[in-house]
Amino acid sequence: MIVRAWRGRASTADPGAYVEHFRRRVLPELREIEGFLGASLLRETRADEVEFLVLTRWASMDAVRAFAGDDVSRAVVEPAAAAALSDYDRTVHHYEVLEAS
């Protein structure tokens, strides 16, 4: 299994916009991709911003490519997601899961 990790940041004034986008647009689209195993949306509230950590789980790097294209290190950020965030990582990290319980 592969975990794809990406971070985005939002203003503390409206952090819910990205959460709504994730629930209504991102998850339904991901569920249509063969090899997508699940996702987690995590939030850390700071004094001046909210950071989101998105962890998606994939059966293989081929499944990741079906989502991200050939440049798997490039973040896939739709315009609506970018509009809901103040900043976001342009690249992602992939981790091979060695142990899970």
Domains of the chain: total: 1
Q: What is the pLDDT of residue 14?
A: 86
Beta-carbon count within 10 A of 77 CB:
14
Q: CATH number, domain at 40?
A: 3.30.70.100
Does 75 reside within a domain? yes
Q: What is the pLDDT of residue 64?
A: 98
3-state DSSP assignment of residue 15: coil
Q: What are phi and psi of 17, to 5 degrees?
A: -60, -45
43-96 pLDDT, tens digit per residue, is: 999 999 999 999 999 999 999 999 999 999 999 999 999 999 999 999 999 999
Q: What is the pLDDT of residue 56?
A: 98
pTM of the model as a whole = 0.93
Does 101 reside within a domain? no
Does 35 reside within a domain? yes
Domain, as residue range, for 57: 2-96
Q: Looking up tokens 């499944």, which residue turns up?
A: 63
100: region left, alpha or beta (phi > 0 left; psi from -120 to 50 alpha): beta
Decide if pLDDT at 13 tops 90: no
Asked if 8 contacts 52 with a C-beta cutoff of 8 angstroms, the reply is yes
Q: What is the pLDDT of residue 15?
A: 84
